[in-house]
Every structure is written in structure tokens, then in C-alpha cells.
Amino acid sequence: MPDFLALAPLGAADLLAAELAAQGVTELRERPWGVTWSGELASAYRACLWSRVASRVLLRLHSAPAASPEALYAAAREIDWSLHFSATATLAVDFDAARSAITHTRYGALKVKDAIVDQLRELRGTRPDVDTVRPGVRINVRVVADEAIFAIDLAGESLHRRGWRAAGVAAPLKENLAAALLLRCGWPEIAAAGGSFVDPMCGSGTLPIEAATIAADIAPGIGREYFGFLGWAGHEAELWAALLAEAQSRRAASVFPGERIFGSDQDPRAIEAARASAQRAGVADRVQFERGALAELRAPGPRGLLLVNPPYGERLGEADALKALYAELGQVLKQRFNGWQAGVFTGNPGLGRELKVEARRRHRLFNGPIEAQLLRFEIAPEHYTREFRPGRLPPVDPSRRDAPGAQMFANRLRKNLDALGKWARREQVSCYRAYDADMPEYSFAVDLYGNGERYAYVQEYAAPPTVPEERVRTRRAEVVAVLPEVLGLAPERIWFRTRRRRKGLDQYTKVGSEQEFHEVAEGGLRFLVNFDDYLDTGLFLDHRPIRARLRELAAGQRFLNLFAYTGSATVYAAAGRARATTSVDMSRTYLDWTRRNLDLNGFGGREHVLVQADALEWLTSAPAGGWDLVFLDPPTFSNSKRMSGTLDVQRDHVTLLRDAMRLLAPAGLLVFSTNFTRFDLDTAALAELTIEDISRATIPKDFERNPRIHRCYLIRRAR
């Protein structure tokens, strides 16, 4: 049976898999970009007609090595194209490559086109013409790691084009992404249970129209005039006609009423476009579009789904202006939509806090290149947020400000800010530690982060059990009382955590799910930090000199970052003109963070490879001698199938270092760092290596009070 691939928006592959499974497709294989399966041609036709989430459906033809343009041409010639092209069919080739010697996509497409044209000319004496808009046969070619995969695009053009949107009408959401949001929010079940649908910022009507076609069992592809398989020589016209007839019969049998789906917007032109699109989609009698302000919105029934894609401030400064809009939406939800489900799709999840309703679920999706989140809410009083939530500065008690302890702490912090502030400005350091338990009775760490805007991340070191809880609460209240004034920051720009020792766990423990990121600067580079979700923010401040050293060492080198975390060391190596980088981490979350940090600094090329793997296991299978510069910064403890069930950096560092040295080129350098404060390097067991302890030289000024904050070594093979 033939093999098929269906592509979906990033973050929606599971929804596509569920759709195909409901259509009877078995043995699905879900991938981040979509789904693969083997089956009859009918399964692919049905996906083209009925999938609301898919963007493409591809018929896989062939795969072969393609390490050069000539090899790509030869691989394309191995396919019998006469089986796919009629005498009159036109042609288009889409080409993409990753980790390939073929870097020019147009040139790759040209080589494949030449192979097809040359073969058909030799067989038939004629060649197909090129039509890049609506070809008779669209060929899809992707080269990954010098392996080419050839496929026929059965959709022909993106399946989000349902055929009902008027030309020239812009929309913030593609139709298949809108459908993914509706499915993710459970709209089919809500509609079947008698619920209503509301979009109070509907624009040109994408969400309400998609909601109507779902509720009315209308195939999303039924109005399309063009599919890629219609001009394909292997097309089975009778099969397609039968599937179309079935879809038309289901549409005719639908009894979904016309008073349960509503869209509103303040722009009269948007409402006019929405009504015209609904007419073309065949749901004009099932959707009501009205011009109206958010403040005028009322729930049309006792239960349902409100789903909205509000603006989120793509330009600097816009987000602050939109806080009032989100706050108004929150008030409307709480006052008039009690008992409803709600979804807010936004590229700025932080604005979701202004609703003052706790999101019960968050889903990461991409709106084109823009990473966004779908925030899902259950509108009920028990989910309304209080003014204070964990992770932010506790409420300030003004009566504590004049307490002797509060003033003593404030004076010490001011002194540090004055001295370190001068140093930071001179050295152009934007993120640094301003206070680190300088007074043992006030055992806090105060870190400042900046990039135009300034934030503070405050950690309270948990007191030993011998200290009475009342004394702990008093000291905490005194510190909280003076922090905003001394730091010169509004309370909402100060994050507050209590840090406790966690045996057997590493520094990456997750403590929240806000997924709000802030951009900060370091060393002329840009990084994303997260103050809500983890005990560490994503940028280890004490490693600042180590990262700078890596940048100096990286020129022309093949760089490997083991236990990569958020990839800050990789960004520095790329900035130092590393020839290539590889970042290895077990966490997809941290690899995504690494990719975002690389992209933020303009290092989005294929030479920067991300590997999701257990670094301990990967070390034993990676190619020997493949890297010139390796940075190894393991957690102090970590669960792993190797190393007797856990990684203990003190116990296991000899094995770990030897495994890492195997990956180095003969003249390569390993930079090894650990934050285990009692670490003792076993130099006797590593006598075959040349080891230089550079720990003292890599302790920055803002961490001088704690010279054992980390250990760092340069390690080479002995000569």
C-alpha cells in the first residue's frame, strides 16, 4: 500500500492524528510536523476532503541519497514519471532542505524539474510546461541530512484554502489553524450538547464560519475547485466522485440550527466581509454576524464556547496599551458568561493575566512563524484569580518598612547597587546579582535583569528547621516591604521565590506554567528568560565569564554543548563564529528555548543542530572526534538509565569526562563546569589528560562572595 504524509500547523499534529483515526486510518505515526500512514488512496482523498487541520497531503514516491545537486538529479531520474504525468499535465516543484549540501532551494527545485522534464522528453518527445500557481502535478521534495524524499502533493495548494474567502480579504488566522483552535477547545462536543459559540472580535469571520462547518458536518474541502490529484495520472475519478457525493449527502442531512453561532466586531467592513464569506461557505443561515463593541456583548445561552483571537501587540509598546482590552474581556466573561468555556489565542500570553481568570490549560501553537498560546478557561468564580499569585512579590506591608531589620537590609542593598551598578555600567553588564545573603539573617539572592526594561528575580533561601517560622515570616515581610523602593521597580516587575534543597533533582525543576518570556541582554547578545515557571530563569548569571571564554575559543570550531539547557553557551559560540554547533538536551522544552535564543540573535541556519536525547546515552553513540570544542555543564544530580540509575556529578565525573573526551578531535578542548560547591576533581584517575583549573578566573565580580559558586576546567589530551 502507498505511504502518505499529512502536514499540520506546529502544535496540532495530535489533532490531525485524531481526525485521521476517526476517518478509519490505522497505524498512524505522529510527528511534530504532522502524521504518516500507509493505506488505500481513498484514505488520502478523504483527508483532502475532510481534514480540518491538515495543510498538505502527500503521496510518498521514493527516497534516495542526494549529497549533491548531481545526486539529486540522478535520484529524481530513478522515478518513472510517466506514471504520474499525462501528456497535457503541467508541473511545479516545491523544494526544501535541512542539514544538506544543497542550500539553495530554487536550485534544488530546478534540478528536480530538469530530471522530470528530461525523462519525459526522452520517453514522449514532449515535456510538461511549468505552472507554479495551480499545476496539474505538484512535486514535493525534501532533503534531510543528504537524503531526498520525493512526493506528490495531492492537495496541490494549502488545504486551509477552503474556497469561500473572498480574494484580497486579509485574515489573522488561516482556516486550518482556526479549526485546530476549535477542536482543541472541544467545540464539537459543546455543539453536540446544545452549546452556543461566540467570537467577539471576529474580523472577517474565520472562527465562526469554521465553527459552523464543524457543527453542520460540512466537509472543509467541499467548496474547493482545485486539488493536486485532479491532474495526476493516477487519479481515480470514480472514487473521488463517490466521496464527494457522500459529503454532499451529509451536508444536506445536517439539522444544526441557525441561532447558536455568533460573531461580532466593531469594524463594519469586517462584518460585511464575514457575511459574504459565510454565504460562499454555505452557512449564511447558520451564523449571525453583527457590528458591536465588546462592552455590549451578552451570552446567547446558558452554556457554550467563547473563542477569540485578540490583538497582542506585535510592536514595542503596544502590549501595555492592550492591557485594558484584555481586562475588559475578562470583566465581560466573569459578569455575563458564567458556566461557559472560553479560549484566548494570543502571541503574548502575559496579557492573558489581565483577564483575572486562571487558565486551566495552555497549548502552544504557531500562527505562521509566530509562536502563540491558546489559553483555555472555565468561567466560574472558583477560577477567578486573586491579586497575588505564587511567583510574584507578596503584598507589601508598609508598616514593616521602618523596622530596624528592614532598614539594615535596605542600606546593604543600596550600597551593593551603588558599587555593582558602577561596575555593571562600565562593563556593560545588564544582568547581575546585586545581593547574595550578604547578611546571613537575611538570606536572599537579588538578581537584576535588563534590556531597556528592568526586572528583579528574588530568591529566599529556605531557613534551617532550627529557625522559628515566625522569625522567617518577619524577615521576609521586612525584605518585601523595602524591595520596590530600593530597586526602583514596581511590584509587578519583581518575582519572588523560596528556594529549597531538592535531593535527587536538578536545577530545571518546573514550578509553574505561565510560559511568559522576557528578553534580556548579555555580552551584546539577546536571551529569553522566564521568571515564572522554573527555579532558574534560563540564564545562569555566574556563568557569564565562561560563556565569554567560549565565544573567544569558538572561531572556526565545531562546537558541542552537552546538557545544553536553554542554549546560552551555544549562542555565544555562534557569536564567536563557530563553524557549526550541536546542542544536546533531553528536554524538548529547553531545545525549543535554545532555538528561540539562536533565532533571536540571527543564528537560525542549518549549521546549528539541536538533538533531543539523554546526553549520557548519546555520549556513548555519538561519532568520535566529531567536535573541536565541547562544553560540558551537567546537573549535579539527574535521573538516567545509565550511571546506576542517576547521574551524580561527583561520583560519575571520571566516566563522564572520558566519554566526552572521546568526541573531541585530537587537538580539541573540553570546557567542564559544575555548580556542585563541594566538587573534588579526581585528577589521579584522569592522569591521561591535561587539566587546567580556571575556576577563580571565571567567578564574576557579582559572585565574589561565593568563590565556590562553580568550578571550571579546561581539559585536553596529554601530549
Decide if 9 contacts 34 (C-beta within 8 A).
Answer: no
Which whole-number Å values give the CA distances from 224 to 50, 174, 217, 228, 505, in the listed order? 12, 15, 16, 11, 54
Q: Please, what is the end-to-end C-alpha distance for the chain in angstroms? A: 59
CATH assignment, 175-214+255-383? 3.40.50.150
Q: Do domains 175-214+255-383 and 518-717 have the same CATH topology?
A: yes
Predicted confidence at residue 644, as pLDDT, reads 46
Superfamily of domain 518-717: Vaccinia Virus protein VP39 (3.40.50.150)
Decide if 28 contacts 37 (C-beta within 8 A).
Answer: yes
- How many residues comprise the chain? 719
591-606, pLDDT tens digit by residue? 999 999 999 999 988 9
Indicate the pLDDT class of residue 316, thresholds 50, 70 and 90: very low
**DSSP 8-state code for residue 169:** -
What three-state secondary structure class fits 234?
A: coil
Predicted confidence at residue 389, as pLDDT, reads 52
Indicate the pLDDT class of residue 502, thresholds 50, 70 and 90: very low
Helix axes 69-77, 105-124, angle to 10 degrees: 40
Indicate if the pLDDT at residue 199 is higher than 50: yes
- What number is the average pLDDT over the span 113-120? 97
- What number is the average pLDDT over the span 440-454? 91
* 536/306: higher pLDDT: 306
Predicted confidence at residue 256, as pLDDT, reads 86
- What number is the average pLDDT over the span 169-178? 87
Cell 485524531: give the residue: 18
- Look up residue 718 and give its three cell numbers: 596529554
What's the topology of domain 3-153?
VC0802-like (3.30.2130)
Give, in degrees to the nearest 5, the angle at Cα 58 between 589 and 5: 40
Structural domain spans, the chain: 3-153, 175-214+255-383, 402-499, 518-717
Predicted confidence at residue 512, as pLDDT, reads 54
- pTM for this predicted structure: 0.62
Indicate the pLDDT class of residue 505, thresholds 50, 70 and 90: very low
Gap between the Cα atoms of 29 and 27, Å rounded: 7
Query: Tell me, what amino acid is at 719?
Result: R
Residue 280's φ and ψ, nearest 5 degrees, are -70, -30
323-375, pLDDT tens digit by residue? 889 999 999 999 999 999 999 999 888 888 889 898 889 999 999 888 899 99
Indicate if the pLDDT at residue 318 is higher than 80: no
Nearest to 366 by CA among 55, 19, 154: 55
* 394/376: higher pLDDT: 376
What three-state secondary structure class fits 364?
A: strand
HSE-up (13 A, CA, CB side) for residue 594: 29
- What number is the average pLDDT over the span 413-418? 96
Predicted confidence at residue 506, as pLDDT, reads 41
Indicate the pLDDT class of residue 91, thresholds 50, 70 and 90: very high
Q: 482: buried, middle or exposed (CB in 10 Å: 19+, 13-18, 0-12)?
A: buried
HSE-up (13 A, CA, CB side) for residue 285: 6
Decide if 220 contacts 158 (C-beta within 8 A).
Answer: no
Predicted confidence at residue 240, as pLDDT, reads 98
Residue 264's φ and ψ, nearest 5 degrees, are -140, 155
CATH assignment, 402-499? 3.30.750.80
Query: Tell me, what amino acid is at 276?
Result: A
Indicate the pLDDT class of residue 320, thresholds 50, 70 and 90: low
Predicted confidence at residue 639, as pLDDT, reads 65
Distance of CA 435 to the CA centre of its chain: 33
Predicted confidence at residue 657, as pLDDT, reads 97
Indicate if the pLDDT at residue 509 is higher than 60: no
| Residues in CB range of 7: below 8 A, 6 or more apart | 33, 34, 54, 55, 56, 57, 58
Indicate the pLDDT class of residue 510, thresholds 50, 70 and 90: low
